[in-house]
Amino acid sequence: VFLKCENLQETGAFKIRGAANKLGALSGDQKARGVIAFSTGNHGRGVAHVGRKLGLRVVVCLSERVPRYRVEAMEALGAEVVRHGASQDQAYLKTLELIDRQGLTLVPPFDDPEIIAGQGVIGLEIMEDHPQLDTVVVPLSGGGLIAGVALAVKSVNPAVRVVGVSMEAAPAMRASLQAGRPVEIEEKDSLADALLGGIGLDNQYTFNMTRDLVDETILVAEDEIADGMFFVFDRHRLVVEGAGAVGVSALISGKIQNPGRAALVLSGGNVDPALLVRIAAQRYNQ
Ligand SMILES: *Cc1c(COP(=O)(O)O)cnc(C)c1O
């Protein structure tokens, strides 16, 4: 089993890759007017980080559900944070209003060719490091990460199996795949809060790419997510957030049949330290 440690990225998650690719491709005029993102946290942080390096105005629109420590991380990077509504879809409506009024350019969290391509570099790196791979396991929410990784991996070797993992609490992509079209589901609290949010009813890329390129999707329960976070902390001394640990959860719970040589994408490490300490203390005391 190989671990792809995106939790060690400068902003603590892989989203810096898509953000860098997208912002780098903007015109001079778009750069001068600034950009806006809506996000459960890690995407906003990636955009804020890259935007600051390029000297751009960055606005981030968030739902009230996003934890305080994530908001503070974005504000510390100089982003203007606007909070609106109880779900990512409502924050999105506010985003559209600000684009209309202020001429900002939208940096979508997943459903965008540049974003997908940026995240997909993870797949190229994995195949370069481990050409003999059997399975790649990828956390799955809106599908930008898995669409890019699956496209990259399958273009190098179509025989590699790509497995997406979401949480039982709110698996928007899985529900959409089952319905045969993008559907909305109710948002619930989860340890994998970076996987919350719909795939967008007007989804253009990631739904089709996930349907066509991903071999299977697996769901994990909240206690399995905690087990995955604890496993990488205890065995590898790595701090990984719930969303980043779901691949580990799926593997150690036995939900992935015949993984063979597997690469797991540890997609992020931005967890509230107090939460990880609670999870670890519970398990050390068992
Ligand atoms: C955004 C995110 C994901 C999911 O990526 P999608 O492109 O929305 O599927 C997984 N893990 C972490 C840590 C994230 O921040």
The angle, 0 to 180 degrees and rounded to 10, between the axes of the packed helices 113-129 and 15-24 is 130
The mean per-residue pLDDT over the stretch 135-153 comes to 98
pLDDT at 236 exceeding the cut of 70: yes
285 CA → ligand 1 middle, Å: 31
pLDDT at 272 exceeding the cut of 80: yes
pLDDT at 203 exceeding the cut of 90: yes
Q: Give the whole-number percent of the chain exceeding pLDDT 70.
A: 100
Residue with CA closest to ligand 1 atom 7: 144
286 CA → ligand 1 middle, Å: 31
Q: What is the pLDDT of residue 63?
A: 87
Q: Is pLDDT larger for residue 90 or for residue 204?
A: 204
Residue with CA closest to ligand 1 atom 4: 141
The mean per-residue pLDDT over the stretch 191-204 comes to 92
pLDDT at 29 exceeding the cut of 80: yes
Rounded CA separation 146/242 (Å): 17
Q: Is pLDDT larger for residue 174 or for residue 87?
A: 174
How does residue 40 score in pLDDT terms, banded at 50, 70 and 90?
A: low
User: Is residue 98 within 8 Å of 104, Cβ to Cβ?
Assistant: yes
User: Is residue 60 within 8 Å of 90, Cβ to Cβ?
Assistant: no
The mean per-residue pLDDT over the stretch 54-74 comes to 89
Please give the single-letter amino acid code of residue 17: R
Q: Which two tokens stand for residue 14?
A: 């892989």
Rounded CA separation 279/32 (Å): 45
The mean per-residue pLDDT over the stretch 57-79 comes to 89
Q: Tell me if residue 101 falls in helix, strand or coil.
A: helix
How does residue 73 score in pLDDT terms, banded at 50, 70 and 90?
A: confident
Rounded CA separation 71/94 (Å): 17
33 CA → ligand 1 middle, Å: 27
Q: Which residue numbers are catalytic?
A: 15, 267
Residue with CA closest to ligand 1 atom 14: 194
* Single pTM value for the model: 0.94
The mean per-residue pLDDT over the stretch 71-89 comes to 89
* Closest ligand 1 atom, residue 110 Cα: 7
How does residue 88 score in pLDDT terms, banded at 50, 70 and 90?
A: confident
The mean per-residue pLDDT over the stretch 75-87 comes to 91
Q: What is the pLDDT of residue 257?
A: 95
Q: Is pLDDT larger for residue 42 or for residue 35?
A: 35
CA atoms within 13 A on the CB side of 229: 30
How does residue 65 score in pLDDT terms, banded at 50, 70 and 90?
A: confident
The mean per-residue pLDDT over the stretch 254-283 comes to 97
* Closest ligand 1 atom, residue 13 Cα: 13
Q: What is the pLDDT of residue 225?
A: 98
* Closest ligand 1 atom, residue 115 Cα: 7
